Amino acid sequence: MRQSSALHTGPVAYQRRFKQTCAACVHVFPQLAQYAFDGDGPPVAGSAKLPGTLDPAGAPDGGAASGGEYADGGGAAGTPSEFSGDIENECNAYWQKLYQNEMTVPEIVRMLQRFQKAGDAGDAVASREFKIYQCMVFGFVDEYKFYREWPEKQLLLTSELFGALIQHSLATDRVLGVALRCVLDALRHPPGTKMFRFGVDALSQFRTRLAEWPQYGALILQIPDLAKHEPELVQFVRSELERASPSAAHPPSDVLASLHGSGKPDRVPLPGRGGGSRGGHNIQDTILFIMNNVTFDNLDMHAADLVNTLDQDWFPWFCHYLVSKRVSQEPNFHGLYNALIDRLAYHQHPALTRLFSRNLLYETYACINKYLNSENILVAPTERSHLKNLGMWLGQITLAKDIPIKHRHLSLK
């Protein structure tokens, strides 16, 4: 009896029960994933990952979203307390510039990318920049638990940057896992709430990476309110999963069950990530050359060239570029761009045409909503001009072609 009792109350049993408790706590409170159990004591920051737990992306220990330690894996460091006061002050100064419109989200992203690469240099200045990158990324994700208290306009800007950190691989390893779970948690809030809007906007930023995490995409598809209120986004997620692998099309229960049998989710080459048989920069250069030289006289020739260059992996990038860089700023060329799209539809397979049209509509709605929710729309003539141009463009690709503008996509007053 004593021996049996010892088996249930000894150090090994306590350690096993403690690990189980840690796993349960991380499941309920994802921010605890920043901590880890070292096997001999209480959870400590920055050590190995929690044994036996699923990471936020739905991958088991060792999955793509649950890598090694923060400091050594290229991700954020373990906790804010590991950074000196001057590092934190400099990070806060950058955040202040962002929220006071002195820096834009793309500028913050480019700066963080530069600081992230500085970790390989080894000199003192580069080391400081890398620590700033670590502190900013970790702090931004860790702040999620307070986002529901933020004003809506600041939260809109925050959601754009939050998704961009994932899209541009600035959040890595376990920080990436926590960030993905935060987005999933936000999407589960009631529709109409600012946290639900945060989740939708953040997911929209990195939706082209969902093919890397089929299990995570399957969890998104399980959210019933999302399909009702964001059908275009859900359809895009579904198409990404179908493209990723045949197993991604399985029912959600099958996908979740398969998590325990695979070390990491399937990965596919995506644009701009160094994968694939063709270099990303070469494709971008070809597309930009076509867009800079296309006219009504050479429309058929350049449309054929664009079809040969533009496969479905590049639809999101091209549509974003076309809407944000061309359509919003060049109203005199709307007719030309519309004709080019019609030629693409003529050349492509019907299924690809529908996929391209969904991407184009989604980017148009997203860009319009971005300006409608901008703080500067009432005082910035440039933004008002861009919004007007986008409105004309939306009419050309929807109402002019007998396609309705639905209230759930754009609330017109």
Read off φ and ψ for residue 27, nearest 5 degrees.
-65, -40
Going from the C-alpha of 384 to that of each of 87, 107, 200, 201, 376, the distances in angstroms are: 38, 22, 24, 21, 9
Element (H, E) at 354: helix 350-372
Q: Specify the residue for token string 């800007």.
A: 157
- The per-residue pLDDT for 158 is 92
Walk me through the domains of the chain, giving residue ranges and CATH numbers.
2-53 (no CATH), 80-261 (1.25.40.840), 280-401 (1.25.40.180)
Going from the C-alpha of 254 to that of each of 184, 207, 257, 261, the distances in angstroms are: 19, 22, 5, 11
Helix (H, G, I), strand (E, B) or coil at 260: helix
- The per-residue pLDDT for 34 is 41
Residue type, 152: E
- The per-residue pLDDT for 224 is 83
Spatial distance between the Cα atoms of 164 and 358, rounded to a whole number of angstroms:
21
Spatial distance between the Cα atoms of 295 and 197, rounded to a whole number of angstroms:
40
pTM above 0.85, yes or no: no
Averaged over successive runs of 10 residues, the pLDDT of the chain (413 residues) comes to: 39 54 55 41 33 33 33 37 78 90 90 84 73 90 88 89 92 87 92 92 90 86 86 86 54 31 30 37 82 89 88 87 92 92 77 85 89 81 90 93 83 66
Determine contact, residues 243/235, Cβ cutoff 8 Å: no
- The per-residue pLDDT for 23 is 57
Q: Which two tokens stand for residue 409?
A: 């996509």
